[in-house]
């Protein structure tokens, strides 16, 4: 087993740095989420308004500002760059690896192997690794959650006010990262303190500290909320104070899913360890130790939050990313207590990866007329070969003693993720990269040509073309009247089938997913209406 040491920290940092490089080289920012968030940061950078964020010139109330502030901070140090927004999640992931070790040490101080095991096991989840280099809010939220819980455990172990101060700051930053989600993961742990923490989590001092931490967190959040509500206008104020939270709880805004949605979602978080018999044995063995304070702590961390999230209307898998560290701690605590597997290696997991590799090796035989057929080629075959070699390597290295397996599995997941990014995802980049169209829009902006976006615009071009003016949006049924009044303008439209480009007067086009995005002139108004009415126009 790698001990919990400075050497581990260096290896974790190096691993995430290499994954970040693979992500930057392997894919563009993915529309519509990543492209939107970077463009929101760009508009704040361009306009200098870091209090009220803007999207396409309008106040943006869907997300709090911490991620955008961090993007702006990095740009002010390193210059405006594509890599820094993703580096924020990578750094947050590294913070989570270090913080989970602190939590493991506090919950099981006699188990010196738990912190290192937890750090490595956290990096085994391919889903976690995906978000560790994404321009998203969830790994940042997880870091805030873990920091708050470290503060709670510091109070439990050492007493005093330092831990509550740490917890309050983390709660405030968590609200600024992704709204009140952080409270779902932390508040139940605090208020169930007497159950998991015993005498040291009871009494007036505990409750006074808990109230002070929550008040400090609220005060930090209000430092942004109050002035933003004043200067953002009535609609912005109503959204951040009520509509955003109520809409996500009810599912009115988006992402409506059934009540049981998070049950299979947890398995997605658990991949590839979901294919490991030893991992399941470790998890279940530790979960049965209901009288163990560490197990109780994790129950309070997971069950109330998963119940609340399940009852809400809006659901997405990445909403439960802050729960993955909790499962990892159970795994790490139970890992060394499951009957040793001796020299038995892992077989199911490498077999699944090898099958994926073989499928990529023979991709010319099955891609056929799939929309991505033009992108699949030698790179996919090389990636498939590497996956097969990695699968063989896992069988060999997993035969080492059981204690080494967390690090072996983490390195395997990191190598699989890097291989997929560089050899499988990278060839698909033209179907997602908004830069060519964005640069064309910048040219038209400089020439003074008016451009309109047909259908809802999600800011997917602003950063990549460094646009300085908003794009007007119109409905699909307005395109003829628009061109009648603005015959020299251009319109951005989307097509489900790139073959339909020949039916339009196309000024510029580029691939977009399975179809295309195009700039059209007035002569294409009627043909476009025909395509729209026949269902060939994409959203």
Q: Using one digit for the tens of pLDDT, what is the confidence trace for 489-502? A: 999 999 988 888 98
Phi and psi, residue 493, nearest 5°: -130, 160
| Domain chopping of the chain, boundaries | 11-335, 348-430, 435-533
Query: DSSP string of 263-318?
Result: HHHHHHHHTTGGG-HHHHHHHHHHHT-TTSHHHHHHHHHHHHHHHHHHHSSB--GG
Instruction: Provide the token pair at 40.
Output: 């929101």
Mean of pLDDT values over 380-385 = 95
Find the length of the chain: 539
In terms of Cβ atoms closer than 10 Å to its own Cβ (0-12, 13-18, 19+), residue 436 is middle
Q: Using one digit for the tens of pLDDT, what is the confidence trace for 425-474? A: 999 999 999 999 999 999 999 999 999 999 889 999 999 999 999 999 99
Q: How confident is the model at residue 342 (pLDDT cuts 50, 70, 90)?
A: very low
Mean pLDDT of the residues in the chain = 90
Residue 514: the pLDDT is 85
Phi and psi, residue 5, nearest 5°: -145, 175
Rounded-to-integer distance, Cα 67 and Cα 85, Å: 8
Q: Which residues pair with 452 in a beta bridge?
A: 472, 491
Better-predicted residue by pLDDT, 400 or 535? 535
Rounded-to-integer distance, Cα 170 and Cα 153, Å: 13
H, E, C per residue of 361-416: HCHHHHCCCCCCCCCCCHHHHHHHHHHHHHHHHHHHHCCCCHHHHHHHHHHHHHHH
Q: Is pLDDT at 3 greater than 70 in this prediction? A: no
Mean of pLDDT values over 308-332 = 90
Q: Is pLDDT at 338 greater than 70 in this prediction? A: no
Q: Using one digit for the tens of pLDDT, what is the confidence trace for 273-298? A: 888 888 888 898 899 999 999 999 99
Q: Is pLDDT at 1 greater than 50 in this prediction? A: no
Residue 319: the pLDDT is 92
Q: Is pLDDT at 250 greater than 70 in this prediction? A: no
Q: Using one digit for the tens of pLDDT, what is the confidence trace for 190-220? A: 999 999 999 889 889 999 999 999 999 999 9
Q: How far is CA 243 from CA 236, 239, 247, in A?
A: 10, 4, 6
Signed CA dihedral, 218, 219, 225, 229: sign only: positive
Mean of pLDDT values over 362-382 = 88
* Residue 115 DSSP SS3: helix
């Amino acid at each position: 087993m790698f001990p919990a040491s400075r050497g581990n920290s260096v290896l974790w940092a190096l691993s995430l740095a290499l994954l970040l490089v693979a992500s930057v080289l392997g894919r563009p920012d993915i529309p519509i989420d990543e492209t939107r968030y970077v463009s929101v940061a760009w508009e704040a950078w361009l306009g200098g308004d870091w209090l009220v964020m803007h999207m396409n010139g309008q106040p943006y109330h869907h997300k709090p500002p911490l991620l955008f502030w961090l993007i702006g901070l990095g740009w002010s140090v390193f210059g405006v760059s594509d890599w820094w927004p993703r580096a924020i999640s990578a750094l947050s992931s590294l913070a989570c690896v270090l913080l989970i070790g602190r939590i493991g040490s506090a919950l099981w101080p006699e188990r010196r192997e738990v912190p290192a095991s937890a750090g490595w096991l956290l990096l085994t989840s391919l889903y976690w690794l995906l978000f560790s280099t994404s321009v998203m809010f969830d790994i940042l939220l997880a870091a805030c959650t873990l920091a708050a819980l470290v503060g709670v455990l510091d109070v439990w172990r050492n007493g005093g006010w330092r831990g509550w101060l740490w917890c309050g700051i983390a709660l405030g930053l968590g609200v600024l990262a992704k709204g009140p989600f952080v409270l779902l993961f932390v508040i139940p742990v605090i208020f169930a303190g007497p159950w998991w923490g015993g005498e040291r989590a009871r009494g007036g001092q505990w409750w006074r500290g808990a109230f002070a931490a929550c008040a400090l967190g609220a005060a930090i959040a209000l430092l942004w909320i109050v002035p933003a509500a004043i200067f953002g206008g009535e609609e912005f104020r109503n959204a951040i104070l009520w509509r955003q939270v109520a809409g996500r709880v009810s599912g009115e805004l988006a992402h409506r899913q059934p009540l049981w949605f998070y049950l299979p979602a947890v398995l997605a978080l658990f991949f590839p360890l979901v294919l490991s018999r030893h991992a399941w044995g470790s998890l279940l063995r530790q979960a049965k130790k209901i009288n163990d304070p560490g197990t109780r702590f994790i129950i309070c961390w997971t069950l109330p939050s998963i119940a609340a999230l399940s009852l809400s209307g809006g659901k997405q898998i990445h909403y439960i990313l802050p729960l993955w560290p909790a499962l990892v701690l159970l795994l790490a605590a139970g890992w060394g207590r499951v009957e040793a597997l001796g020299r038995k290696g892992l077989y199911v997991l490498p077999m699944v990866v090898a099958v994926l590799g073989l499928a990529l090796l023979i991709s010319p035989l099955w891609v056929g007329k799939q929309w991505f057929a033009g992108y699949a080629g030698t790179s996919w075959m090389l990636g498939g070969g590497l996956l097969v070699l990695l699968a063989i390597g896992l069988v060999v290295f997993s035969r080492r003693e059981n204690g080494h397996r967390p690090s072996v599995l983490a390195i395997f997941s990191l190598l699989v993720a890097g291989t997929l990014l560089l050899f499988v995802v990278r060839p698909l980049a033209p179907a997602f990269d908004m830069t060519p169209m964005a640069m064309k829009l910048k040219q038209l902006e400089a020439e003074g040509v008016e451009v309109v976006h047909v259908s809802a615009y999600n800011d997917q071009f602003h950063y990549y073309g460094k646009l300085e003016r908003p794009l007007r949006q119109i409905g699909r049924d307005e395109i003829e009247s628009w061109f009648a009044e603005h015959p020299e303008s251009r319109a951005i439209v989307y097509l489900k089938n790139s073959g339909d480009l020949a039916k339009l007067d196309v000024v510029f086009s580029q691939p977009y997913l399975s179809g295309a995005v195009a700039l059209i002139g007035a002569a294409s108004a009627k043909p476009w209406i025909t395509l729209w009415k026949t269902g060939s126009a994409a959203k």
